[in-house]
Copies of this chain bind each other. A is one copy, B any other.
């Protein structure tokens, strides 16, 4: 028989490190967070982290991968269960993105907050992960019925920029991520008074 309990507890420990690191990376940035800070938040000594992760950059990469995974799964699921209307599909994707980004989990915020240039050794991997995720919005925006003079790349990057900026000003008490997604999409379809 296998011993899943033991394996589970070890995974929990590893995940606790990831969560602590994600929260600190979001709050103080990558360069502003030390391995000792992460260790203290996890309740261990700094050297013990290296049993689970080979380096600080490897730890960042794991946090980043978890963030991208959360975002990708949410958007994929939203698109799979979404109707055919192109604008509704974009709104569903935006809502999934904003929900993951703003509802507690710090992993997704690391993807948005930490720029690849902060960790030169992992720069290429970070960029690849981000691009691989954002490709989903490329597809959805391409399906939009737009006036011919509308630049779809600009529209896509505009929406991504607006969404990725929300952690700076979002306050849990006010609008929900879903309401924000509706506002964002409606604003892109047209806000001028008749």
Contact = CB atoms under 8 A, between A and B. Distances in A.
A191 B146 contact: yes
A36 to B, nearest CB: 14
B175 A165 contact: no
A3 interface: no
A37 to B, nearest CB: 12
A183 B180 CA distance: 22
A145 B191 CA distance: 9
A interface, over-half SS: helix
Contacts of A158: 162, 183-184, 187
Interface string A26-60: 01111111000000000000000000000000000
Contacts of A147: 191-194
A87 interface: yes
A163 B158 CA distance: 8
Nearest to A170: B157
A12 B107 CA distance: 43
Interface in A52-93: 87
Contact of A117 (B29, B157, B169, B189): B29
A105 interface: no
A183 B14 CA distance: 45
A122 interface: no
A77 to B, nearest CB: 25
A135 interface: no
Nearest first, the 6 closest Cβ-Cβ pairs linking A and B are A31-B31, A190-B190, A161-B165, A161-B162, A31-B32, A158-B162
Interface of A: 27-33, 87, 113, 115, 117-118, 120, 144-147, 150-151, 154-155, 157-166, 168-169, 175, 180, 183-184, 186-194
